[in-house]
Amino acid sequence: MGKLSDILNGSGGDFNDRWDSTEAAADFGAVPRGEYECDLVAGELTSSRTKSTPGYRLTFSIREEAFAKRRVWHDLWLTSAALPMAKRDLNRIGVTTPEQMEQPIPRGIVCRVRVALRTDDNGTQRNVVKSFDVLRIETPESDPFAPKPGDVAERGGEADTTFNPDDLKRE
């Protein structure tokens, strides 16, 4: 384990002052029930904590200013009983084969998400996604740090590593 001073690169005194003058952030509570415009930011295979039930979790990031970047999750269970509903929801986002669940979600999917509140036995409220509809597909902003075609060759590298689908064709 390293020391804090090692990762602060000599700015320990300044950091200590900021630490002392900074209030801790409040815990996030659940967002109010309602409909939210969200970006679909992730989809991943998962399993339940208690029974290891196989599932697929969608992660939505809220766009509305009051709750911007807050996240809500929608669990789709991959059991025989729940599979028809899981396929319905996965088809909405273009996932039509089991293999696609192992791939990253395409960027740019914007959804209208209906969120409810559930109160646990101990009184804790949490959000539950009841349903969602795809509103549109937006062209994602390009990554400003992504390599441009020919970058390796222009920097004196040995080869241009730009992907070409024709390279996959066998003769």
Q: Where are the domains of the chain?
A: 34-137
114 contacts 131 by C-beta, under 8 angstroms: yes
- The yes-or-no verdict on residue 115 having pLDDT over 80 is yes
134 contacts 92 by C-beta, under 8 angstroms: yes
pLDDT for 170 equals: 45
Max Cα–Cα distance, the chain, nearest Å: 67
Tell me which residue of 50, 96, 44, 102 sits closest to 75, measured CA to CA: 44
Q: How confident is residue 84, by pLDDT bands cut at 50, 70 and 90?
A: very high
Q: How confident is residue 48, by pLDDT bands cut at 50, 70 and 90?
A: very high
- The yes-or-no verdict on residue 4 having pLDDT over 70 is yes
- CA atoms 96, 97, 98, 104: torsion sign: negative
- The yes-or-no verdict on residue 128 having pLDDT over 90 is yes
First to last CA, the chain: 53
CATH of 34-137, one of 1.10.287, 2.40.50, 2.60.40, 1.25.40: 2.40.50
